[in-house]
Structure 1
Amino acid sequence: MAMNDTYAESEPRRTEVDALPGHVLLEFGAPWCEHCQAAQPLLAKALHGQPLHHLKIEDGPKRRLGRSFQVKLWPTLILLRDGQEIARCVRPTGIEELQSLLQSVNA
């Protein structure tokens, strides 16, 4: 699957996310966030050829999905397997952090 380049303006419900099959990478952030912008080239490289679904979700005040995952900093990347969190990475600054996050996808 290819990397998703655009943040979804409307977030899915937590029950919908919990019901997603297989590996899903949730990316919480905002298009104006400098940390999120800096992480995009790293994400593109790390996600290339990965067999997972990438959901890019705009987070902010009154956004319930991010709060349900205790997101405090952006970007926060949460790897799910069949709706269950298996790994998390907050504000990645190097490709190694993302490769470590994604290692369980290919295991």
Structure 2
Amino acid sequence: MNLLMVNDSTFQGSIRQQGVTMVDFGAPWCPPCKVLKPLLDELGSEYGEKIALLEVNCDESPATASDYGIMSMPTVLVFNNGEPVEKLIGLRPKAVYENLIAKYI
């Protein structure tokens, strides 16, 4: 499962109201974002339908980035049942994301 690209107009409707949604806030020109993307794709493959994975291009969706106080990229927000519950700023090892998912599924 690949990351679903969302924008200012589709973001809210894409967050799962039941279960876990991980949102990657980044930009195509950001080197750590390029490293994170395949890692999140792996998580998507491993967890399948248990989680939703969304991607927000901060350059194209500044309102959404601003709403969630995104100051640096990449930032991963974890939503549980529609509410933001965790925020990871910067690139982290895959195990950190796995542990975060495990907390909520």
Cα shift readout 1:11-45 (whole Å, capped 9, x = no counterpart) = 2367x359741221111101121010011232223
Taking only the aligned residue pairs, the percentage that are identical comes to: 15
Alpha-carbon separation, structure 2, partners of 1:45 and 1:18: 20
SS in 1 for 2:46: coil
What TM-score do you get using the length of structure 1 for normalisation? 0.76
| Alpha-carbon shift at residue 56 of structure 1 (Å) | 0.5
| Alpha-carbon shift at residue 77 of structure 1 (Å) | 0.7
What TM-score do you get using the length of structure 2 for normalisation? 0.78
Q: 1:28 aligns with which of 25, 28, 37?
A: 25
Which residues of structure 2 form unaligned runs of 5+? none
SS in 2 for 1:93: coil
Cα shift readout 1:31-71 (whole Å, capped 9, x = no counterpart) = 12101001123222333332111111110387111111111
Alpha-carbon separation, structure 2, partners of 1:44 and 1:36: 12
Task: Say how many residue pairs are matched.
Answer: 102
In structure 1, the residue matched to 2:54 is 55
SS in 2 for 1:60: coil
Higher strand share: 2
- Which shifted more, 86-95 or 40-49? 40-49
Asked if 1:44 is matched to 2:41, the reply is yes
| Alpha-carbon shift at residue 75 of structure 1 (Å) | 1.0
- Which shifted more, 43-52 or 72-81? 43-52
Measured on the aligned residues, the alpha-carbon RMSD in Å equals 2.5
Alpha-carbon separation, structure 1, partners of 2:101 and 2:9: 22
